[in-house]
A and B are shown apart, each in its own frame.
Chain A
Amino acid sequence: MRRGKYTGYWLMLPAALWLGVFFVIPFYSLLATSLYDPEGSVLTGYDVTYHVANFWDAFAEHWDELWRSLWYAGVATMICAVLGYVLAYAIAFKAGRWRTLLLVLVIAPFFTSFLVRTLSWKLILADDGFIVDTLQTLHLMGEDGRLLATPVAVIAGLVYNFLPFMVLPLYASLEKIDGRLVEAASDLYASPARGFLKVTLPLSMPGVVAGTLLTFIPAAGDYINAQLLGSTNQRMVGNVIQDLFTDTGDYAAAGALSVTLMAIIVAMVVVYIRKAGTEELL
C-alpha cells in the first residue's frame, strides 16, 4: 500500500476534487459575478462585462457596514484575547487534574445550536431583563437605556460566539511551554509578572496569532449577531451581502462586496502575520 507510486494521488483525489470544484473554482465564479453587468437579473442572466465600477459602487454605498464589521470584529477579538488568555492559562497551568474536564467544558457550547444560544442572549440583555435592571438600579444606565440594539450587545454576542476559537489555539501553545523555563526566570530573580511577560507570553505568541485570526475572520463576516442582537444601526457587511443575494437579487453588487471583504481580510492577515511573524515568532 505504501509502495505504490501513485497511491498518494489516488487517496488524495476525491478530497482534492471536492475542494477544487466546490471551494477554489467558486472563488473564480464569485470574481466573475462581481464583474457582471449590474443590469442583469437571475432570470435574464448576467453578462461578464468587466464592470469594475461594481466595486466602486459597493465600496461607496456600503462603506459604513464594511468599516463597522472590521471595527466590531476587532474589538470582539481583543476582548476574546484577554478572556481567552485567562481561561487558557488557568487550564494549562492551574487546573491540575481538572484540566480535561475544563477543556471539554470549553468545547461543549460549540455543540449547541449557534442560533439558539444567540437568541438566549437576546433574553439576557432584554430591556426588562436582569442585567438592564441592575444597571439601572445602580444608575449606571438611564431609565430608558437599552443594551439590545446597541453595539455593546452585538460585540458581546460576537465575543461569546467566537471565544472557543480563541481558547483552543491559546491552550495548545501554552501547554507546550516547558515549565522549567519559567522556573529558570524566577531563579534568576525575575518577578512572576516579569517572568510572564518575558517568558510565557512570547512563547505563547503562535497561539495568540492563530487565535486572533480564527476569531477575527469569522466575526468580520458574521451577520447573525448583528441581526438578532442589533438594530439597523448595527448592520454589518454580512447582512448586506446576504440581503443583496437573497432579497434584492443584486448578484453583481453582492459579489463585489464579498470580494472586497475577502480582499480586505487577506490583506490584513498578511500584514498581521508578517508583523507578528518577524517580531515575535522568529
Chain B
Amino acid sequence: MSHQGNVLQRSGRWVADHVVLGLGVLVLVYMFVPIAVVMLMSFNDNSGSRNVYAFQGFTLDNWSNMCGPDGMCEAVLRSIGIGLAATLVATIIGTLASFALVRHDFHGRAAMNTIIFLPMASPEIVMGSSLLALFVAGGFGGKLGLVTILIAHVMFCLSFVIVTVKARLAGLDANLEQAAMDLYASESTTFWRITFPLVFPGIAAAALLSFSLSFDDFIITNLNAGQTVTFPMYVWGVSQRGVPMQVNVIGTIMFLVSLLIVVGNMLATRRKTA
C-alpha cells in the first residue's frame, strides 16, 4: 500500500472514530434535553398566564417560595421518609440474602436466583395490581396507606439490592480473607475488618439505587397507596389540572443532589484506588 493510501486510511479511521463518538454524544444530549427544560422552567414566571407549558419570563420566585403549592412539600417529605425506610429494610435483608447466595450452599438456591430476577422483568402494572389483589383479598382494601406502600417498595427494591451486592461480593478476592484467618484473626474480626469494608461500596450503591427507585415510583405506589399522596402521585394529580412551577424546582434539586452524590462517590473511590 502506498504512503498516500495509508494517510487516507488513517484519516478515514479518525473520521469514523469521531463520527461514532459524535453520534453517541448526540444520543446523550437527547437524554438531557428534558432535564435542561426542567431546570429552565424552575425559573419560569407564569404568574400572568395559565399556560404552564411555555417559558414566560425569568423569576426566582419559584425557588424562594418553594413550598408555595398546597401539599407539595408534604408529599416530598413523605416520599423521602418512605424512601429512607424502604431503603433501610431492603438494603439490610437484601445484603443478608446476597451473602447467602454467594457464600452458602442451600436447597433452592437456583430457584431463589430466578425469583430475584423476576420482579425486575415484570411490568409494574402487573406487580402493582397483584399486590393490590392480595391486600384486598386479605381484607386490607380499606387500609391502604403508608404500610402497604412500604411493603411494595421493599419488594421491588430487594431484587436490585441483591443483584448489586452479589456482583460486588462475587468479585471479592477470597485470598484477603484467607490471609486474615492465617494471621489468627477470628471469623468475626475477619468479617468486620476485611469482608465488610470491601463489600461496602456495593451496599452503598444498592442503597442509593433503592432510594431513587422508591422515591420515583408511581405505577405500583398509585395502586397501593389509598389516600396517601407521595411526590410522584402529587405530580400526577397536578398534571391533570395545571402544574405549579415549583415542581421543576424539586426536579432540579433532585437531579443536582444525585449528581453530587454519584460524582462524589466516583472521586472517593478513585482516590482510594490511586
**Which A residues are within 8 Å of any B CB, using their own CB?**
1-2, 7-12, 14-16, 18-20, 22-27, 29-30, 32-33, 42, 83-84, 86-87, 89-91, 93-95, 100, 102, 104-124, 126, 128-129, 160, 163-164, 192, 213-214, 217-218, 220-224, 228, 237-238, 241-242, 245-246, 251, 254-255, 258, 261-262, 265, 269
Closest B residue to A84 using CB positions: B27
The answer for the CA separation of A38 and B193 in the assembled complex, in Å, is: 60
The answer for the CA separation of A73 and B76 in the assembled complex, in Å, is: 31
The answer for the CA separation of A75 and B69 in the assembled complex, in Å, is: 38
**Residue contact B35 to A112, C-beta cutoff 8 Å:** yes
Determine which of B27, B38, B123, B255 lies in contact with A86 in the assembled complex, contact meaning CB atoms within 8 Å: B27
Does B133 lie at the interface of the complex (its beta carbon under 8 Å from any beta carbon of A)?
yes
Chain A to chain B contacts (Cβ below 8 Å), 21 pairs: A1-B187, A8-B100, A11-B97, A14-B97, A16-B112, A23-B115, A90-B23, A95-B24, A105-B28, A107-B262, A112-B258, A113-B232, A116-B38, A117-B35, A118-B34, A119-B243, A214-B121, A222-B123, A241-B125, A245-B223, A258-B125
Contact string, B108-121, partner A, CB cutoff 8 A, digits 1/0? 01001001101111
Does B176 lie at the interface of the complex (its beta carbon under 8 Å from any beta carbon of A)?
no
The answer for the CA separation of A248 and B221 in the assembled complex, in Å, is: 18
**Residue contact B266 to A100, C-beta cutoff 8 Å:** yes
A23 in contact with B35 given A16-B112, A213-B121 (CB within 8 Å): no
Contact string, B15-33, partner A, CB cutoff 8 A, digits 1/0? 0111011011101101111
B225 to chain A, nearest CB (A): 10
The answer for the CA separation of A254 and B141 in the assembled complex, in Å, is: 15
B167 to chain A, nearest CB (A): 10
Q: How many residues of B contact A (CB 8 A)?
A: 90
Contact string, B187-220, partner A, CB cutoff 8 A, digits 1/0? 1100100000000000000000000100110110
A93 to chain B, nearest CB (A): 8
Closest A residue to B104 using CB positions: A8
Closest B residue to A90 using CB positions: B24
In addition to A29-B133, A109-B31, A237-B125, 18 A-B residue pairs with Cβ atoms within 8 Å of each other are A8-B106, A14-B96, A15-B97, A16-B115, A18-B158, A22-B155, A29-B136, A33-B133, A33-B136, A89-B24, A90-B23, A91-B24, A112-B254, A113-B251, A126-B54, A245-B132, A246-B223, A265-B123
Closest A residue to B142 using CB positions: A42
Question: In the complex, which residues of chain A have a beta carbon less than 8 angstroms from the beta carbon of B119?
Answer: 19, 23
**Residue contact A11 to B96, C-beta cutoff 8 Å:** yes
A89 in contact with B20 given A7-B104, A15-B162 (CB within 8 Å): yes
Closest B residue to A210 using CB positions: B121
The answer for the CA separation of A238 and B262 in the assembled complex, in Å, is: 33
**Residue contact B155 to A23, C-beta cutoff 8 Å:** yes
Question: In the complex, which residues of chain B have a beta carbon less than 8 angstroms from the beta carbon of A1?
Answer: 187-188, 191
**Residue contact A30 to B130, C-beta cutoff 8 Å:** yes
**Residue contact A124 to B37, C-beta cutoff 8 Å:** yes
Does B152 lie at the interface of the complex (its beta carbon under 8 Å from any beta carbon of A)?
yes
Does B183 lie at the interface of the complex (its beta carbon under 8 Å from any beta carbon of A)?
no
Does B185 lie at the interface of the complex (its beta carbon under 8 Å from any beta carbon of A)?
no
Does B137 lie at the interface of the complex (its beta carbon under 8 Å from any beta carbon of A)?
yes
A243 to chain B, nearest CB (A): 11
Closest A residue to B118 using CB positions: A23
B107 to chain A, nearest CB (A): 8
The answer for the CA separation of A178 and B261 in the assembled complex, in Å, is: 32
**Residue contact A86 to B23, C-beta cutoff 8 Å:** yes
A18 in contact with B104 given A1-B191, A119-B243 (CB within 8 Å): no
**Residue contact B266 to A111, C-beta cutoff 8 Å:** no
Does B146 lie at the interface of the complex (its beta carbon under 8 Å from any beta carbon of A)?
no
A226 to chain B, nearest CB (A): 12
Does B87 lie at the interface of the complex (its beta carbon under 8 Å from any beta carbon of A)?
no
Closest A residue to B240 using CB positions: A227
B153 to chain A, nearest CB (A): 10
**Residue with the highest number of chain A CB atoms closer than 10 Å, among B31, B123, B162, B250:** B123
Does B124 lie at the interface of the complex (its beta carbon under 8 Å from any beta carbon of A)?
yes
**Residue contact A19 to B121, C-beta cutoff 8 Å:** no
B16 to chain A, nearest CB (A): 7
**Residue contact A19 to B115, C-beta cutoff 8 Å:** yes
Does B151 lie at the interface of the complex (its beta carbon under 8 Å from any beta carbon of A)?
yes
B274 to chain A, nearest CB (A): 13
Question: In the complex, which residues of chain B have a beta carbon less than 8 angstroms from the beta carbon of A30?
Answer: 126, 129-130, 133
B12 to chain A, nearest CB (A): 9
**Residue contact B112 to A12, C-beta cutoff 8 Å:** yes
A112 in contact with B129 given A8-B104, A218-B123, A261-B123 (CB within 8 Å): no
